[in-house]
Amino acid sequence: MSETTPSLGTTTSAAAPSSDSASASDPASASAIARARRARIALRGLQVFLALFYGIASALPKLIAHPSASEAFDKMGWGSGGMYTIGALELAGAVALLIPVLQSVAAVALGALMVGAFVVQIVVFDGQNAATPLILLVPLALIAWKRRGSNAELLRLARRRA
C-alpha cells in the first residue's frame, strides 16, 4: 500500500501488502497500518492543539500588551520590546507548526523558547511556573522527532532556491 504525503509531495511505501485482499487475509499488518494511521492523526492533532495554545494563550497576550504579560516582562527588565519579540516568535512558531515542511524546525525553535522560559522562571520568578515550559518541551520534542523527515524536504527546497 502506498501513501502520498501531501505536505512533501512524495510517495512512501508502508510495510503492507500491495493489494486490499491481501491485507484482509493478514490481520496483523492491517492492524499495524491502522495503528500507524491513528498515531499520525494523533500527532497532527497535538500539533494543532499546540499551535492554538502558542498562538492564542501565549502569543496573543504579549502582542496585545495584556497587563499580565506587561508586568512580567517589566519585572524581567525586558520591557515591551522583549514582550513583542517573544510574542512574535511564539506566533511564528505556532503558524509554522501547521506548515508541513516547517513543522519539525518549528517544534525545535519553540522548544528552544521553552528552555529560555524555564531559565527565566527559575532565575527571575524563583521557579514559580517553571514546570510549564518543561511540560511543553515533551510534546515539542516528540513532534520534532517524529516529523524530522520534513527537514530533508526543507533543506532540498533551500538548496534549490540558493
pLDDT at residue 25, as a whole number:
65
pLDDT at residue 27, as a whole number:
86
pLDDT, mean of residues 136-142: 97
pLDDT tens-digit profile of 76-127?
999 999 999 999 999 999 999 999 999 999 999 999 999 999 999 999 999 9
d(CA 117, CA 124): 10
Is 159's pLDDT higher than 70?
yes
103-123 and 79-97 are packed helices; what angle lies between their axes, rounded to 10 degrees?
A: 150
Q: Can you name the residues that pair with 61 across neighbouring β-strands?
A: none
pLDDT tens-digit profile of 10-64?
434 444 444 444 445 688 899 999 999 999 999 999 999 999 999 999 999 999 9
pLDDT at residue 16, as a whole number:
43
pLDDT, mean of residues 146-156: 94
pLDDT at residue 161, as a whole number:
86
pTM assigned to the model: 0.81
**Is residue 86 within 8 Å of 112, Cβ to Cβ?**
no
Question: Which of the two residues, 40 and 6, has the higher pLDDT score?
Answer: 40
Is 139's pLDDT higher than 90?
yes
Using DSSP's 3-state secondary structure scheme, residue 99 falls into: coil
